[in-house]
Chain A
């Protein structure tokens, strides 16, 4: 089975940096995705990691360590609109294109 853990909630101040951690234990590994989901809306794709290291996309970066079963999503220069749930999802090789999602981390940005 799949076990994906991320913190339930995080709070940060506008302009600050927040790091959302995700640890996983899966039968095989074939990529890790981060999604953003605003309340009442659909998840939207943020980033993808399949090799170790850091992927940077503007204010958002995502890191992966396959040996540690660990990823983080880094949000820089936080804005009020970044208040949302952030979902970590893992694709395991044995399950082809199926994704297993973590429960999500609710980030609240305060002025």
Chain B
């Protein structure tokens, strides 16, 4: 079975540029989560969706960050304009509705803003 698929795996860009990260959740999963992981702050939840609707975006750091889920099989996380402090690994995860089911993580996007 295909897991959570993220693209790109690596992204290096200059500050000020727009960055778009993509995620395809596991088919049939109702929940999709975007996380950011850094050495300093660990794994932080940015936003999550249920049935394509954003439920909690309190972790989104500032207005430069936005996320969408236009359909059940695709989500994007966009940073515009990007800054060096946005450099991190960004993970997408999905889970089903049963409370005992874990979140399954994609391989992540390693983002470097120069």
| CB contact between A95 and one of B50, B56, B99, B108 (< 8 Å): that residue | B56
Q: How far is the CB of B22 from chain A (nearest CB, A)?
A: 16
List B residues 45-82 near A (Cβ within 8 Å).
Answer: 45, 48, 50, 55-56
> Could you give, for residues 61-102 of chain A, a 1 whenever the CB lies within 8 Å of some chain B CB and a 0 otherwise?
000000000000000000000000001000100011111111
- Interface size, A (range): 20 to 34
| CB contact between B99 and one of A31, A45, A100, A101 (< 8 Å): that residue | A31
Asked whether A96 lies within 8 Å of B42 as measured between CB atoms, the reply is no
User: A33 at interface (Cβ–Cβ under 8 A)?
Assistant: yes
Bound-state CA distance A18–B43 (Å) is: 23
B48: chain A residues within 8 A (beta carbon): 97-98
Asked whether A48 lies within 8 Å of B108 as measured between CB atoms, the reply is no
B33: chain A residues within 8 A (beta carbon): 98-99
Bound-state CA distance A87–B42 (Å) is: 10
Asked whether A87 lies within 8 Å of B43 as measured between CB atoms, the reply is yes
Bound-state CA distance A102–B100 (Å) is: 19
Bound-state CA distance A49–B104 (Å) is: 17
User: A103 at interface (Cβ–Cβ under 8 A)?
Assistant: yes
User: A42 at interface (Cβ–Cβ under 8 A)?
Assistant: yes
Q: Which residue of A lies closest to B55 (CB)?
A: A96
Asked whether B45 lies within 8 Å of A42 as measured between CB atoms, the reply is no
B95: chain A residues within 8 A (beta carbon): 97
| CB contact between B102 and one of A45, A96, A101 (< 8 Å): that residue | A45
Other 5 A-B pairs with CB < 8 A, given A31-B100, A96-B55: A30-B99, A33-B103, A48-B102, A99-B33, A101-B42
* Residues in B lying within 8 Å of A, measured CB to CB: 31, 33, 42-45, 48, 50, 55-56, 91, 95, 99-100, 102-108
